[in-house]
Structure 1
Amino acid sequence: MKNSYVHVYTGNGKGKTTAAIGLAVRAAMAGKKVYIGQFIKGMKYNECKVVEYIPNITIEQLGRDCFINRDPEEEDILAAKNAWEKCKHILNSKEYSVVILDEITIAFYYKLIDLKDVIDAIKNRNDQIEVVITGRYAPKEIIEMADLVTEMKEIKHYYTQGVLSRDGIDK
């Protein structure tokens, strides 16, 4: 049996990062060290405060402001590449038991980082590290490689009624 697995939380529904943070809290409460690298994200979301309460969790926002409504700029591309190099190093270390690559699928979608390089690094990681990948548009190659895939499907969302992200609930 394997020692660790690859999880993917994808889809257009709400809850991908929330599920990953829940897994991080569970792992930390079991004494495991967790690293969360947030690709693309630069806004300070409330989940970043978890490190003030749970010392076994490290969160780094590795992106700039979200560029979903604009084309990525050169700085976004460089930030994604640097983020990936950092996470690739962490995947080979013995420092963490769980590594969450939050919104990395968006970096694939915008072709900011090389999908094959990420797949190779995950396959060749320290075999004690559980990996969680989050974000919309998970490529089929990631889905095929993963051991667990959950698709969040939007059925209904208050955002379509003009409700913006609410503090403590959506951000």
Structure 2
Amino acid sequence: MKRLEKGLIQVYTGNGKGKSTAAFGLAVRAAGHGFKVYIIQFMKTGNFYGEINTFKRLAPEVEVKSFGRPGFIYKESPREEDYKLAREALEYARQVMLADDADIVILDEINNALYFGLISLEEVMELLKQKPPQVELVLTGRNAPMEIIEMADLVTEMLEKKHPYRQGIPGRKGIEY
């Protein structure tokens, strides 16, 4: 199979809806062309989200591994387990990115893990510098640091103009998760 000649760094950030969804759309597109996609989820558990069930159907082209505990993580009081899982996710990301078969590596919610202080900016910048030339690396999550934005080749900021949550409509199965 033909590999990417030049892999780029993409960032999906901002307060609007659709950051992970955009990255997952890329994963589906890439799988349709036979590319190998790894999705590493920071601060998320896997089985809650509908897209995880879809990705199981796209195996072996798409592999997902989630590193999060059930429940909500508060920025002011993360648990030791949250730090441990974020470090494990980062190390797993490094392993798959450097694996010989990786075409696209999606680091879902890594920007939030940074914002919450679960991993350091230095560690993530080092990961970006280690990216092989043929690997496309995608980072999602709110609050992308300026250093990552500057290093990226493509940055999309999702801007919330209106959201049903503000009208008291909770997240809906199959739509928001």
Contact residue 104 and residue 136 of structure 2 kept, 8 A = yes
> Equivalent residue for 2:83?
77
Letter in 1 for 2:62: I
**Structure 1 residue runs of 4+, over 6 Å off?**
none
> Equivalent residue for 2:56?
52
Per-residue deviation, 1:110: 1.1
Whether 1:136 aligns to 2:139 is no
CA distance in 2, matches of 1:68, 1:50: 29
> Equivalent residue for 1:26?
29
Q: Give TM-score scaled by structure 2 length.
A: 0.91
Letter in 2 for 1:63: G
Whether 1:38 aligns to 2:41 is yes
Contact residue 94 and residue 126 of structure 1 kept, 8 A = no
Contact residue 110 and residue 139 of structure 2 kept, 8 A = yes
Per-residue deviation, 1:68: 4.0
Contact residue 50 and residue 57 of structure 1 kept, 8 A = no
Contact residue 105 and residue 136 of structure 2 kept, 8 A = yes
Per-residue deviation, 1:35: 0.4
Alignment of 1:20-169 (within 5 A): 20-42=23-45, 44-55=48-59, 56-65=61-70, 66-68=72-74, 71-169=77-175
> Equivalent residue for 1:6?
9
Q: Give TM-score scaled by structure 1 length.
A: 0.94
CA distance in 2, matches of 1:125, 1:81: 18
Per-residue deviation, 1:47: 0.8
Per-residue deviation, 1:116: 1.4
Per-residue deviation, 1:69: 7.2
CA distance in 2, matches of 1:155, 1:83: 32
Contact residue 11 and residue 152 of structure 1 kept, 8 A = yes
CA distance in 2, matches of 1:99, 1:14: 21
Structure 1 unmatched runs, 5+: none
Contact residue 101 and residue 132 of structure 1 kept, 8 A = yes
Task: Report percent identity of matched pairs.
Answer: 47
Letter in 2 for 1:140: M
Contact residue 93 and residue 126 of structure 1 kept, 8 A = no
CA distance in 1, matches of 2:174, 2:22: 15
Contact residue 105 and residue 134 of structure 1 kept, 8 A = yes
Contact residue 91 and residue 122 of structure 1 kept, 8 A = no
Could you say what secondary structure the match of 1:156 adopts?
A: coil
For 1:40-86, what per-residue CA distance to the aligned partner results, in whole angstroms no more than 9, with x for missing partners?
01262111012232121111111113314762100111110111111
CA distance in 2, matches of 1:158, 1:48: 24
Per-residue deviation, 1:151: 0.2
CA distance in 1, matches of 2:167, 2:42: 28
